[in-house]
A = this chain, B = another copy of it.
Amino acid sequence: MSEPDTRQAIKDIALDLLVRNGYRGASFGDIAEELGITRANIHYHFGGKQALVEEVLEDYAQVTLVALRQVWSTENSSLGDKIEAMIGVSRKRFQHFNAAGESGQPWSLISRLRQDADLLSAKGRQMLDHFGSELLAIFAAALSTAAARGELAPNAQPDDAALILAAIADNAAPITLTEGGFERLETIYRGLKRMIEKS
């Protein structure tokens, strides 16, 4: 296989296993077996586990933040539409992670790896922190604009609303694991929407 193909294939499987099983649960052995290559080959391409996870995390954070910035760009849509768009994003992720394995643990990689922060490299930990502040900044900007436009309910402060949205968005995935699954997350978003939006 050509160099970039193998590298990408390894990262794809690694992302899946990291999200499902965490840092310790995503072993080189499992990744290699899934791909029909050897563990040593992964070492050849990435050097070590921390380095591989760093790359996976980098890609994930980049893609996710781009997607979120697009949804929450303040230009076009109303606050309500943005929250509806977030439900769409969550649904897509939920379906993606339920497609392959039956158990389906649609965690965010970020919130999952935060629990294994001590196993990550310093750079990895830094990336987690950076993601957290970027996420909050995105919501804060959008909510602040919505407030200026008079879209917010009188009892919803823009900064508080941004914090709540970030908390749900970053930690949302565990919710979908409980009975009730994705529908519960959807209801949470809609309930938040009703409370935040001017009626």
> Which residue of chain B has the shortest Cβ distance to A21 in the bound complex?
B118
A85 interface residue per 8 A CB criterion: no
Judged by a CB distance under 8 angstroms, whether A187 is at the interface is yes
A126 to B196, CA, bound (A): 35
| A121 vs chain B, min Cβ distance (A) | 15
| Chain B residue at minimal CB-CB distance from A195 | B195
Assess whether A75 is interfacial by the CB under 8 Å rule.
no
Tell whether A90 is near chain B: CB-to-CB under 8 Å: no
Bound Cα distance A156, B191 (Å) = 7
| Copies per complex of this chain | 2
Q: Which of A149-190 contact B (CB under 8 A)?
A: 153-157, 159-161, 163-164, 167-168, 170-172, 174-175, 177-179, 184, 187-188, 190
Give A residues with C-beta under 8 Å from B.
Answer: 21-22, 24-25, 103, 105, 107, 111-112, 114-118, 129, 132-133, 153-157, 159-161, 163-164, 167-168, 170-172, 174-175, 177-179, 184, 187-188, 190-192, 194-197, 199
- CB-defined A-B contacts under 8 Å, sample of 18: A21-B118, A22-B24, A22-B115, A22-B116, A111-B174, A112-B115, A114-B174, A133-B179, A153-B195, A155-B195, A156-B191, A159-B187, A160-B187, A164-B164, A167-B171, A170-B174, A170-B175, A171-B171
